[in-house]
């Protein structure tokens, strides 16, 4: 990784490249996914089976698309006890954190004769998309927990999970156990953009939902983008990213390992270090060279670091925080002597990890906060997946006749300014009554 002094022209050029990375949806991709969505909308289960047989499980039958209770019960015997314990621990802690996000309906009666309020209610149905993970060999159990548990806490009655089946038409038992623990009762063996279409439009087997959440490849992401408005979605997530602010107290081995934890995800991932210590900058660069060679996915990590990795040296931690706020990273680690003091300078980040022993994977799996986070600088205006993604807020308004007459003239004035005569008349007709 190259070391850049910040501010400088070279640093700005690197920042520009890092900030510009995102899924690049070509017209070819757009047309491809749009055709899939249209086909599923028109043909329903027939299209789902055709796509599933072509891309995932050649022998899939319509009756087997929905996972049976017997399959879930059988999965329990296939998962080792320590793995089950880890799933349950993560689920408890995710549930505990998201319970704090619950909202209550409220009513206000400050002005005589009026009642104003907000009704908080959950959406009716939610779809959770979970990627297949190398043909089911690496099940993304954390994605199940992070998507389904907040929906369950919000009070959603129907939570649906879709995931690509293995070639033999099965779902990894660890994923099934995570789904059961998270309260998911409907599991379908379909993946890809066709499963997103099924959730949005509904088919003979899969009734439609109101909100779709969960990570996916560029085609799944594009399907969610195209269907936004037909259904609600969590966000348009881009490639993963990490930014570490480190001072002289940081351990170069820790910093390098954390940067590589995101670099191994994808060649589009971004890993950035900002430090006020030139010695730390050099030591981390050397440590990355050593550690990356040991990774099974070293080619992906090396390409990611070459394209979107960087080390910036600054004159102070305050300058480092300002640069971090510009980049608005998905994951921000503060590996400094007093992370809580520096926290006051942080404005834009999906999640902040404080201290030398709080690496990003703690948040990915078990700490409790959601790991579905804004990427590509969108932390400037958006937030992590939460209970709020699964609720609706309905305004409540009541006026007595006396309260109505007290404010009617101002309503008419404002309607007249906007040239909306019928709006004004709906008020004046009551004044003449």
Domain boundaries in the chain? 3-22+238-368, 27-233, 400-431
Confirm if 243 and 327 have CB atoms less than 8 A apart: yes
At residue 196, the pLDDT reads 98
Fold of 3-22+238-368: Rossmann fold (3.40.50)
Residue 161 pairs with which residues in a beta bridge?
128, 187
Question: Is-catalytic flag, 13?
Answer: no
Could you tell me which CATH number the domain at 27-233 has?
A: 3.40.50.1980
Q: Which one of the listed residues 95, 330, 333, 360 is annotated catalytic?
A: 330
Confirm if 118 and 213 have CB atoms less than 8 A apart: no
At residue 23, the pLDDT reads 66
Q: What is the pTM of this model?
A: 0.94
* Topology match between the domains 3-22+238-368 and 27-233: yes
Per-residue pLDDT of the chain (433 residues; tens, 9 = 90+): 899 999 999 999 999 999 988 767 889 999 999 999 999 999 999 999 999 999 999 999 999 999 999 999 999 999 999 999 999 999 999 999 999 999 999 999 999 999 999 999 999 999 999 998 777 788 999 999 999 999 999 999 999 999 999 999 999 999 999 999 999 999 999 999 999 999 999 999 999 999 999 999 999 999 999 999 999 999 998 899 999 999 999 999 999 999 999 999 999 999 999 999 999 999 999 999 999 999 999 999 999 999 999 999 999 999 999 999 999 999 999 999 999 999 999 999 999 999 999 999 999 999 999 999 999 999 999 999 999 999 999 999 999 999 999 999 999 999 999 999 999 999 999 998 7
* Closest-CA residue to 122 (of 151, 79, 148): 151
At residue 36, the pLDDT reads 98
C-alpha span between 380 and 65 (Å, rounded)? 40
At residue 202, the pLDDT reads 98
Question: Is-catalytic flag, 330?
Answer: yes
Q: Which one of the listed residues 98, 152, 265, 331 is annotated catalytic?
A: 331
At residue 25, the pLDDT reads 84
CA of 347: how far to CAs of 239, 244, 270, 353, 363, in Å?
21, 15, 20, 14, 19
Confirm if 143 and 214 have CB atoms less than 8 A apart: yes
């Amino acid at each position: 990784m190259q070391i850049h002094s910040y501010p400088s022209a070279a640093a700005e050029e690197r920042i520009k490249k890092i900030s510009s990375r995102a899924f690049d949806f070509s017209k070819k991709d757009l047309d491809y996914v749009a055709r899939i969505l249209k086909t599923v909308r028109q043909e329903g289960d027939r299209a789902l089976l055709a796509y599933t047989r072509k891309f995932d499980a050649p022998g899939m039958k319509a009756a087997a698309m929905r996972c049976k209770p017997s399959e879930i019960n059988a999965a329990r015997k296939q998962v080792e006890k320590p793995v089950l314990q880890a799933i349950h621990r993560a689920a408890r802690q995710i549930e505990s954190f998201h319970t704090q996000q619950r909202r209550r309906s409220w009513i206000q009666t400050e002005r005589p004769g009026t009642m104003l309020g907000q009704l908080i209610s959950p959406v009716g149905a939610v779809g959770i998309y979970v990627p297949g993970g190398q043909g089911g060999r690496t099940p993304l159990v954390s994605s199940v927990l992070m998507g389904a548990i907040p929906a369950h806490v919000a009070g959603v009655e129907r939570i649906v999970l879709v995931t690509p089946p293995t070639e033999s038409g099965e779902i990894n038992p660890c994923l099934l156990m995570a789904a059961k623990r998270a309260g998911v009762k409907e599991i379908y063996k379909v993946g890809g953009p066709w499963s997103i279409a099924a959730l949005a439009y509904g088919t003979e087997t899969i009734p439609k939902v109101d909100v779709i959440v969960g990570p996916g490849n560029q085609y799944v992401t594009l399907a969610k983008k195209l269907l936004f408005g037909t259904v609600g979605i969590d966000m348009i997530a881009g490639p993963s990213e990490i930014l570490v602010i480190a001072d002289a107290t940081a351990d170069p081995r820790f910093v390098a390992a954390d940067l590589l934890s995101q670099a191994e995800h994808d060649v589009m991932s971004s890993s950035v270090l900002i430090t006020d210590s030139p010695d730390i900058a050099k030591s981390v660069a050397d440590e990355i060279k050593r550690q990356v060679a040991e990774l099974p996915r070293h080619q992906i990590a090396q390409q990611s670091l070459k394209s979107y990795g960087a080390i910036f040296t600054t004159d102070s931690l305050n300058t480092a925080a300002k640069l971090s706020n510009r980049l608005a990273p998905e994951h921000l680690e503060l590996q400094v002597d007093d992370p809580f003091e520096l926290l006051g300078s942080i404005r834009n980040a999906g999640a902040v990890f404080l201290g030398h022993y709080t690496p990003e994977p703690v948040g990915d799996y078990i700490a409790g906060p959601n790991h579905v986070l804004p990427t590509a600088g969108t932390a400037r205006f958006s937030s992590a997946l939460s209970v709020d993604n699964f609720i609706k807020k309905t305004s409540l308004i009541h006026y007595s006749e006396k309260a109505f007459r007290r404010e009617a003239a101002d309503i008419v004035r404002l309607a007249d300014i906007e040239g909306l005569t019928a709006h004004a008349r709906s008020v004046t007709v009551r004044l003449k009554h």
